[in-house]
Copies of this chain bind each other. A is one copy, B any other.
Amino acid sequence: MIKKNPSFKRIALMGRHDRDPIQETLIALHEFLTLRNCPVVYDHETASRLPFKINSVSIEMLAQHCDLLIVVGGDGSLLQAAKIAVAQSLPVLGVNRGRLGFLTDIYPHELATIEAVLNGEYQAENRFLLQCHVYREDHVIASIDAVNEIVLSPDSIAHMIEFEVMVNKRFVCDLRADGLIIATPTGSTAYALSGGGPIVEPSLNAIVLVPMFPHTLTNRPLVIDANAHLTIHITSHNDIIPFISGDGQKCMSIERSDRLILQKHASPLKLIHPQTYDYFETLRSKLNWQSRHRNC
């Protein structure tokens, strides 16, 4: 079921690390694309790391100069690039130097595969993001986007936050826990999985709530409709200052009585995969499903 999609004409290359393999791959891709007469554009930061001088553009202007963003690095690099791409409706292709990831599914030596993608032989997949607005009294004081998950965590050690969870303004429960992971299907194989959450097929319009070390053992992971509005209200008698993070990046401290309102982000991430991509194959590989872990 090979489908022919629009081809990609102008490419942005992005790499977020100084590590040699990333640099090597950027240079190899640069040469490959230039040989094909394909225009290549860089953001200032990536350009500054290259060993040659090249013009670059502001990261917010990438979409005006390209129709595909190729990110060189692991899943972490792709998560960072995703937010920039989503804001500009730019599709993203991940090229991984190490072991393939959940989000990056091409090796840099697979130039034939990359060429095929550029020629329109690819799968395009939308992954939704979460958006979290932080309300203090009646004002939004911050907004956080996440491809994988939003996490409410305690400050340092004091491992217990009390908060109230509501779905579409209906009270769900009071939670006493180390925190709460709110994950997209994409994030269901990331931090939420370590916390006991289920694997959620990426196409499902659902989000997973995983209480972290809850005081009440029956506070199990909960899967709800991704169109729901989720409210988390930090109750006023907490004596610690929790904070929230998005995709593993610490964002801000939350005060008592603050409210978090989470909902699906209006714009999705457009992930580009080679034609051979298979989500379940990635699961089988990353989770060692071919192994038999126990005896007898």
On whether the beta carbons of B289 and A288 are closer than 8 Å, the reply is no
> 1/0 per residue A280-294: CB within 8 Å of B?
100110111111111
On whether the beta carbons of A293 and B288 are closer than 8 Å, the reply is yes
> 1/0 per residue A221-252: CB within 8 Å of B?
11111000000000000000001010111100
Contact partner of A216 among B213, B214, B293, CB < 8 A?
Answer: B293
Contact partner of A295 among B75, B153, B216, CB < 8 A?
Answer: B75
Taking CB atoms, residues of chain B closer than 8 Å to A159 are 151, 153, 191, 248
Contact partner of A217 among B174, B208, B217, CB < 8 A?
Answer: B217
On whether the beta carbons of B213 and A173 are closer than 8 Å, the reply is no
Q: Which residue of B lies closest to A194 (CB)?
A: B213
CB of A191 to closest CB in B, whole Å: 7
> 1/0 per residue A133-168: CB within 8 Å of B?
000000000000000100101011111000000010
On whether the beta carbons of A296 and B248 are closer than 8 Å, the reply is yes
Q: Which residue of B lies closest to A203 (CB)?
A: B225
On whether the beta carbons of B173 and A218 are closer than 8 Å, the reply is no
Additional A-B contacts beyond A157-B245, A194-B215, A217-B293 (16; CB < 8 A):
A151-B157, A156-B156, A174-B290, A176-B292, A188-B223, A190-B294, A191-B213, A193-B294, A198-B198, A198-B221, A198-B223, A203-B225, A217-B294, A248-B296, A288-B288, A288-B293
For the complex of A and B, list the 6 residue pairs with the smallest distance between their C-beta atoms, beginning with the closest. Answer: A157-B250, A194-B213, A218-B287, A102-B295, A198-B221, A75-B295
